[in-house]
């Protein structure tokens, strides 16, 4: 069913969000502080609001995607009375603390609130293969889930408004670690015989599926605080990491990752956990064990 939705902020991401709502058949109102940014969307059927107040008045569901949480407040503070009875979905990047503060601010002005994390770049908006993370009251999410599905697969994380931002940050850390590891691997694999990054990636993609299996194996160990080394012990990992360090140094591959792995496994082994699984290292990552 078609719904009324307003998008405030038309940078690259905001423009993609508004375009996805339009493509899904929703009556979409848009606003941006810079003149002319809405022209292409208006040509596709969007209505352009003269200002934030008019944008709020146009729709029960208001999606905001601006540079910072401070900008969100700068835009909405002067028109906050218009939030009453509406749902504010904040897809601005920020911290969990900012999300919680904004949720409280929205509630004080009579608005329901969802905070969100967009797990794709603008070209991926509208593709159900990409996730958008949401946190806030489940009933609010459920009421707007069908409309939000126009942007990508909507995933609800919990009532704490800070969770989407926290997950977003954690998942980006995982992405950067994986991509840097891939760059290191591609450089290492190509150092001796000219193996291309494309050829390496064909094999690496299959390996990443196995890494997913390892994560699913270790997650219950982390939750339980018990780390049986019945697949590969830290002693085994430590020896293999030394091979990575040596091969990298010998070829001038200098991402710094092998040294990080060596230090972390060394700490685990020296603390007496050489017979445990890799999951034991979560205690060192958390800072619960000091050298």
pLDDT digits (tens, 9 = 90+) for 12-48: 999 999 999 999 999 999 999 998 999 999 999 999 9
Question: In percent, how much of the chain has pLDDT > 90?
Answer: 97
User: In the predicted model, what is the mean pLDDT of the chain?
Assistant: 97
Classify residue 254: in a domain, yes or no.
yes
Q: How far apart are CA 93 and CA 9, in angstroms?
A: 13
In a domain, 176, yes or no: no
Q: How much is the pLDDT for 222? A: 98
- Same domain for 239 and 125: no
pLDDT in tens, 212-238: 999 999 999 999 999 999 999 999 999
Whether 183 is covered by a domain: the verdict is no
Domain count of the chain? 2
8 Å CB contact between 197 and 187: no
Which CATH number goes with the domain that contains 254? 1.10.1040.10
Q: How far apart are alpha carbons 88 and 102 in whole angstroms?
A: 10
Strands, sheet with 87-90, edge to edge from the N-terminal-most edge strand: 47-48, 27-31, 4-8, 61-64, 87-90, 112-118, 131-136, 153-156
CATH classification at residue 13:
3.40.50.720
DSSP states along 190-254: HHHH---HHHHHHHHHHHHHHHHHHHHHHHHHHHHT--B-SS--HHHHHHHHHHHHHHHHHTT--
Identify the pLDDT of residue 291: 54
For the beta carbon of residue 56, count every other beta carbon within 10 angstroms.
25
Give the pLDDT confidence score for residue 113 in this predicted structure: 98
Cβ pair 140, 114 in contact under 8 A: yes
Residues 128, 201 share a domain: no
What distance in Å separates the CA atoms of residue 158 and residue 140, rounded to the nearest whole number? 11
The per-residue pLDDT for range 58-116, each reduced to its tens digit, is: 999 999 999 999 999 999 999 999 999 999 999 999 999 999 999 999 999 999 999 99
205 part of a folded domain: yes
Identify the domain containing residue 220 by its residue range: 196-285
Same domain, 56 and 142: yes
Query: Using 50, 70 and 90 to split pLDDT, how confident is the model at 155?
Result: very high
Confidence check: pLDDT of 174 > 80: yes
Q: Is residue 167 part of a domain?
A: no
Examine the pLDDT at 290 and tell me if it is beyond 80: no
User: Average pLDDT of 134-153?
Assistant: 98
Mean pLDDT of 151-162: 98
190 assigned to some structural domain: no
The Cα–Cα gap between 97 and 105 comes to 12
Q: Are residues 13 and 137 both part of a single domain?
A: yes
Mean pLDDT, residues 198-206 taken together: 98
Does 271 lie in the same domain as 134? no
């Amino acid at each position: 069913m078609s719904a009324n939705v307003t998008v405030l902020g038309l940078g690259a991401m905001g423009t993609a969000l508004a375009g996805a709502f339009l493509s899904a058949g929703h009556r979409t109102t848009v606003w941006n502080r810079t003149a002319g940014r809405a022209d292409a969307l208006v040509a596709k059927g969007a209505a352009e609001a003269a200002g934030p107040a008019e944008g709020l008045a146009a729709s029960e569901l208001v999606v905001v995607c601006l540079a910072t949480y401070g900008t969100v407040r700068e835009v909405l503070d002067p028109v906050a009375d218009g939030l009453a009875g509406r749902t504010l979905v904040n897809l601005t990047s920020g911290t969990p603390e900012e999300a919680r503060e904004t949720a409280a601010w929205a509630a004080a002005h009579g608005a329901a609130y969802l905070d969100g994390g967009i797990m794709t770049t603008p070209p991926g908006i509208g593709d159900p293969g990409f996730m958008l993370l949401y946190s806030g009251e489940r009933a609010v999410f459920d009421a707007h889930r069908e409309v939000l599905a126009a942007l990508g697969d909507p995933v609800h994380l919990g009532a704490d408004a800070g969770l989407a931002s926290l997950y977003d940050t954690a998942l980006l850390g995982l992405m950067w670690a994986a991509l840097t590891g891939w760059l290191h691997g591609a450089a290492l694999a190509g150092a001796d015989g000219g193996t291309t990054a494309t050829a390496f990636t064909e094999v690496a993609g299959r390996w990443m599926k196995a890494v997913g299996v390892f994560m699913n194996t270790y997650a219950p160990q982390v939750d339980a605080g018990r780390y049986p080394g019945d697949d590969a012990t830290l002693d085994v990992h430590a020896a293999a990491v030394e091979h990575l360090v040596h091969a990298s140094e010998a070829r001038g591959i200098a991402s710094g990752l092998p040294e990080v792995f060596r230090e972390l496994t060394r700490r685990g082994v020296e603390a007496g956990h050489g017979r445990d699984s890799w999951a034991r290292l979560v205690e060192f990552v958390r800072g619960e064990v000091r050298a």
